Amino acid sequence: MPNPIAFLMLAIWPIVTVVMFKRLGPERGVIWTLLVGYLILPELPAQFDFPLLPPLTKHTIPSLSTFCCALLMFGYRGSILPRSRVGKVLVLTFVFSPALTVWNNADPVVWGEVWLPGLSMFDALALVMTQAMLIMPFLLARAFLNSGKTQRELMIAFMFAGLAYTIPMLIEIRLSPQLNLWVYGFYQHFFNQSVRFGGYRPVVFLYHGLWVAFFCMSALVCAVGLLREDTERSKLFYLVCVGWLAAVLFLAKSLGSFLFALFLVPCVFLLGRVTQIKVAILLGLLATGYPILKGLDLVPQQEMLAAAASIDPDRAASLEFRFSNENILLDRAYEKPVFGWGSWGRNHILNPVTGAIETVTDGRWIIVIGVWGWAGFLAEFGLLLLPLILLWREAVAPRDGEISPFIAPLSLLLAINMVDMIPNATITTLTWVLAGALTGYAEVLKAERLKEGKRSIWTLQWKPIL
């Protein structure tokens, strides 16, 4: 169980947020309060669960405190909702569709001797509030991180935070994942999943070792982007950072993130800005279309299992376990396809005697479809895919001003995060920050282009929609 330090850290974070905003200003304040909160605050089960309110966790407390500080200290910039009609619809659907999920799940679910209660209006209120807090980093980044300068600040923050995080990562690689136990009094996941290739995979203060490796990979990609775009005087420093982060990522023993790095680093270093955005769109479309391909039985499961077995039989067994659970859970989701089954484990298969959950949800896509249905899935993945499409439109449109080169590596990071959400549930506060920053910058580019009197390459029939 979490110790008092865990609850104290959660309780004082609003105070920390105020101090950071006063010292850093609005843009850096948004970046660093969300980033540091994600990296150091304790995971579940550390939370404040007050009656009639959604649980306050490391994912909601920094979002809520940052949003309130930005609003009260500096004022919100522009409209809260995105400017595009599609963006408005997606945000509103993301926040309020859980109310329709609750309305569609008022009846109890019965598994033999096990009975799960129906959802009530209190659940609807709590779920809507939770969704609103989860989307706050997107709204904040859209309002405060919508320029090339702030996106460079975002990449620098990722890189330096990643460099700092390599220290506890190396400690856990050597001693085993113990820092969360030493500091917060509990271990946040199954320890055996941290044992890899004769050593240990670091977890630090995140949910799982996969999350740590993915963040290290993100910091590495940001360092490569800065290495490519910055001055000759700084290139040696960035080159050292790239080498160090790559070495620690290799030691982190996460094959997926390492393969992502092998793909993204050459893309960032060699491809042009527009080409990188096109690659990001293809990756985002792949992630968004995966459930459809899965439902149509067009995913080459056997070929993927054979390829995984050629690398590591244990990884092949893990992948086969994922595929099996996805198939079962997808059949369960099809029973309520539009708005899903809601919370309290109603989307799972339960043991009819003990009530134990017998299925495992690994991928974010199957979690969202099972809990919130296709409405929730399209809202969430649509909000992540939309900025990539909007940025491509602005990147290829004629204009007088320059476009920030940093949108390309950030777009690739967002897209690869969507791809990683196929096997894993790696959507985090940082995912929403990336999506919001890119959405805001695309809106700024569009406003500048229209002010110049330049037309988009899109046809008139698409312009009213996006």
Structural domain contains residue 460 = no
CA distance 105 to 372: 11
**Residue of 24, 18, 17 lying closest to 38 (CA atoms):** 17
On whether residue 464 sits in a domain, the answer given is: no
Q: For the stretch 55-72, what's the b/e string if a residue is b when 16 or more beta carbons lie within 10 angstroms of its beta carbon?
A: ebbbbbbbbbbbbebbee
> Contact at 8 Å (CB) between 277 and 391?
yes
Mean pLDDT for 240-259 is: 94
Q: Token pair of 294, please?
A: 């899965």
Are 121 and 132 a contacting pair, CB within 8 Å? no
109-111/114-116 β-pairing = antiparallel
What does the buried/exposed string (b/e) look like for 101-117 if buried means 16 or more CB atoms within 10 Å of the residue's CB? bbebbeeebebeeeebe
Contacts 24+ apart (CB under 8 A), 108-112: 109/341, 109/346, 111/349, 111/350, 111/351, 111/352, 111/355, 112/351, 112/352, 112/353
- Is residue 43 in some structural domain? yes
Residue 464 has pLDDT above 70, yes or no: no
Q: Considering 75, 108, 135, which residue would you say is the last residue of a domain?
A: 75
Does residue 458 surpass a pLDDT of 70? no
Give me the pLDDT at residue 462, please.
Answer: 45
Q: Average the pLDDT over 268-278 and give the result.
A: 93
Q: How many of the other CB atoms lie within 10 Å of CB of 179?
A: 17
Q: Which amino acid appears at position 392 of this protein?
A: W
CB 49 within 8 A of CB 60: no
DSSP 54: -
**Residue 186: inside a domain, yes or no?**
yes
**Which of residues 194 and 278 earns the better pLDDT score?**
278
Residues 112 and 142 reside in one and the same domain: yes
| Residues composing the chain | 466
Which pLDDT band, with edges at 50, 70 and 90, does 396 fall under?
A: confident
**pLDDT confidence of residue 454:** 62
User: Span 273-295, mean pLDDT?
Assistant: 93
Paired tokens of 214: 């993915």
Tell whether 20 and 147 lie within a shared domain.
no
Whether residue 459 is predicted with pLDDT greater than 50 in this model: the reply is: no
- pLDDT tens-place string over residues 16-73: 999 999 999 999 999 999 999 999 999 988 899 887 778 899 999 999 999 999 988 8
Coil, strand or helix: which one is 199? strand
DSSP result, 204-270:
TTSS-HHHHHHHHHHHHHHHHHHHHHS-HHHHHHHHHHHHHHHHHHHHTT-HHHHHHHHHHHHHHHH
Burial class (CB in 10 A: 0-12, 13-18, 19+), 383: buried
pLDDT at 232: 67
Highest mean pLDDT (candidates 14-18, 400-404, 453-457): 14-18
pLDDT, position 465: 43
- Asked if 64 and 159 sit in the same domain, the reply is no
Do both 30 and 107 map to the same domain? no
- Check pLDDT > 60 for residue 269: yes
Contacts of 288 (CB under 8 A, 6+ apart): 381, 382, 385, 418
Same domain, 46 and 176: no
In a shared domain, residues 228 and 373: yes
Distance of alpha carbon 390 from alpha carbon 407, whole angstroms = 12
CA 219 – CA 260 distance, rounded (Å):
12
Contact between 379 and 97 under an 8 Å Cβ cutoff? The reply is yes
How many independent structural domains does the chain possess?
2
Structure tokens at 267: 């893309």
Q: Is 154 exposed, middle or buried (0-12, 13-18, 19+ CB in 10 A)?
A: buried
Residue 254 has pLDDT above 80, yes or no: yes
Same domain flag for 44 and 153: no
Are residues 88 and 27 part of one domain? Answer: no
Last residue of a domain, one of 75, 92, 113: 75
Q: If DSSP codes are grouped into helix, strand and coil, which group holds residue 456?
A: coil
Tens digits of per-residue pLDDT, 78-113? 788 899 999 999 999 999 999 999 999 988 888 887
Alpha carbon 439 to its chain centroid, in Å, reads 15
| Structure confidence at residue 460 (pLDDT) | 42
Model confidence at 141: pLDDT above 50: yes
The percent of residues above 70 in pLDDT, for the chain, comes to: 95
Task: Examine residue 459 and state whether it is found in any structural domain, yes or no.
Answer: no
Q: Closest Cα to residue 26, out of 60, 58, 71?
A: 71
- pLDDT band of residue 235 (cuts 50, 70, 90) is confident
- Stretch 164-175: mean pLDDT: 94
Beta bridge mates, 109: 116
From CA 344, how far away is CA 367, in angstroms rounded?
12
- The answer to whether residues 179 and 171 touch, using CB atoms and an 8 Å cutoff, is yes
pLDDT at position 260, please? 96
In the structure, what pLDDT confidence band is assigned to residue 455 with cuts at 50, 70 and 90? low
The H or E element containing residue 116 is strand 114-116
CA 296, chain centre distance (Å)? 26
- So what's the pLDDT on residue 354? 82
Print the domain residue range for 134.
79-452
Q: What residues contact residue 451 under an 8 Å CB cut-off, 6+ apart?
A: none
Among 75, 97, 131, the domain boundary falls at 75
* Residues paired with 350 in a beta bridge: 357
How high is the pLDDT of residue 170? Answer: 95
User: Does a structural domain hold residue 27?
Assistant: yes
463 in any annotated domain: no
Between 180 and 297, where is the model more confident? 180
| Residue-wise pLDDT tens digits, 288-322 | 999 988 878 788 878 878 877 777 777 777 778 88
Burial of 97 (0-12, 13-18, 19+ CB in 10 A): buried
Please indicate, yes or no, whether residues 34 and 157 belong to a single structural domain of this protein.
no
- 67, 89: one domain: no
Whole-model pTM over 0.85: yes
- Residue 192 pLDDT level (bands cut at 50, 70, 90): confident
Residue 350, pLDDT > 80, answer yes
Within a domain: 461: no
The answer on 7 and 101 residing in a single domain is no
Whether 21 and 86 map to the same domain: the answer is no
**Res. 461: pLDDT tops 70:** no
